[in-house]
Amino acid sequence: MRKILPFLFFGIFIINGFSQSPLRLEPKKYGYRAGDSIYKYQVEYKDPGSKGRQLQWDFSNVKVLNDNYLIKYFYPDKKDTFHICGMEHRTRYYYLQKKDSLWSTGFENYTTLINYTTPELKLKFPFNYGDTLYSAFEGEGIYCNMLKLKVKGWTRVEADAEGELTLPGNKKVKHALRTHTTRYYTETGKDSTEMSYETYTWYGKNLRYPIFESIKTTLHRLSPGRGDGGEVGVKQGSQVSDTIVFHTSFYYTPEELNIQPDLLANDSTDIYGNPIPEAERVFTEARMLPNPVINNLNIDFKLTRRAVIWFSVHNNIGIPMRQTHPQSLDEGYHQTQIPMGGLVTGTYTVYVHVDDRMIQRVVVKK
């Protein structure tokens, strides 16, 4: 088994880039937030391309593999707002968000439980183009309630590229920032396994969560003759045989991601470089849950000023199916509920009427 670079296990190293990106990752704007539910689309793997500045990525043509991939963030203990959990693909991922850092502290699913005795540093804010961080992590756990596991490795994160991202529908995201994370680790149980996990992540202006991700997992195997000289009669200098065991990409539609309300008052353009409509400056922090919905659609929102608000739900040919009464609401947080239990399964457009302007959102009825 190859030796993991030992000096990386003595601490954390952060290199700050000399140049500043138009987009910088900050904890208030890009940290995980309890209560958020996000749908992303699993699509065929897209090559991330080279690193650098003023690049262009064309992800306009993607083949969807799974359009029902849900991520939920919540507090495992509501009294502890530093620890947050992300539920994804039947696995719980545990994080510690404190001050300027995001740490991974472990994960669990039906078969495996891992707790990091030395947490893994995922991001240290603020993070700009050219910034790099290194950290070590170590953990232990159990597989199928009987096999003890140990894991040890290192993580390197670099903000290695920025440019313009073209999404399905030929929507363009300007000043996108990409991070490249390499996670190299050894897992020891019945057998010993060396793996690397590479993630390329694209972030957009005013969007808390990524727009696009490309992920690749590689299994590193030594050929029958080990190259470390650890066995009698083994030939020195044997080659490593690497196998890509998994690769995929994920696309998060910007319309479904949460726009950051604190930025809207000072921002005149959205992630595409278009002017932000007045209605979206007034109607902010909107969450329509659950989505997909079975019975009642709950809408939470914040108004930045007093406005007349009402909602209408339309089917896929534009016929109104539900409508609320107009209300004059003060600045602040509000909630409304729309009954959708009697509607047939399908996709519906929710029109948010803000004074004499409109915003539209899409919900799915199960």
Least Cα distance to 327 among 353, 313, 305, 309 occurs for: 309
226 and 153 assigned to the same domain: yes
CATH (domain of 360)? 2.60.40.2550
DSSP 39-83: EEEEE--------EEEEEEE--S--EEEEEEEEEEE-SSTT-SSE
187 and 247 assigned to the same domain: yes
Are 285 and 263 a contacting pair, CB within 8 Å? no
Cα–Cα distances in angstroms (integers) from residue 317 to residues 170, 292, 324, 344, 365, in the given order: 24, 19, 20, 13, 15
Among 181-190, 225-234, 338-347, name the one with the lowest average pLDDT.
225-234
The number of distinct structural domains making up the chain is 2
- Domain end (from 255, 287, 313): 255
186 and 326 assigned to the same domain: no
Angstrom distance (rounded) from CA 301 to CA 284: 6
Angstrom distance (rounded) from CA 312 to CA 324: 6
* The residue type at 126: P
161 and 215 assigned to the same domain: yes
22 and 61 assigned to the same domain: yes
227 and 358 assigned to the same domain: no
10 and 128 assigned to the same domain: yes
Q: Quick check: is 262 in a domain? A: no
Q: Quick check: is 230 in a domain? A: yes
Residue 317 pLDDT level (bands cut at 50, 70, 90):
confident
- Domain end (from 223, 255, 287): 255
Q: Quick check: is 45 in a domain? A: yes
Among 231-245, 306-320, 349-363, name the one with the lowest average pLDDT.
231-245
39 and 187 assigned to the same domain: yes
Residue 293 DSSP label: B
First to last CA, the chain: 50
pLDDT at 280 over 50: yes
More confident residue, 159 or 290: 159
Q: Quick check: is 283 in a domain? A: yes
Q: Quick check: is 17 in a domain? A: yes
Does the pTM exceed 0.85? no
Residue 310 pLDDT level (bands cut at 50, 70, 90):
very high
236 and 327 assigned to the same domain: no
How many other CB atoms are there within 10 angstroms of residue 294's CB atom? 11
Residue 350 pLDDT level (bands cut at 50, 70, 90):
very high
Cα–Cα distances in angstroms (integers) from residue 174 to residues 171, 247, 267, in the given order: 10, 26, 14
Least Cα distance to 101 among 127, 80, 139 occurs for: 127
pLDDT at 153 over 60: yes
131 and 30 assigned to the same domain: yes
Among 153-157, 272-276, 342-346, name the one with the lowest average pLDDT.
272-276
283 and 142 assigned to the same domain: no
182 and 299 assigned to the same domain: no
Q: Quick check: is 176 in a domain? A: yes
Residue 330, domain extent = 278-365
Q: Read off the pLDDT of each residue in 8-21 and give the average, rounded to a whole number.
A: 46
Q: Quick check: is 265 in a domain? A: no
Q: Quick check: is 190 in a domain? A: yes
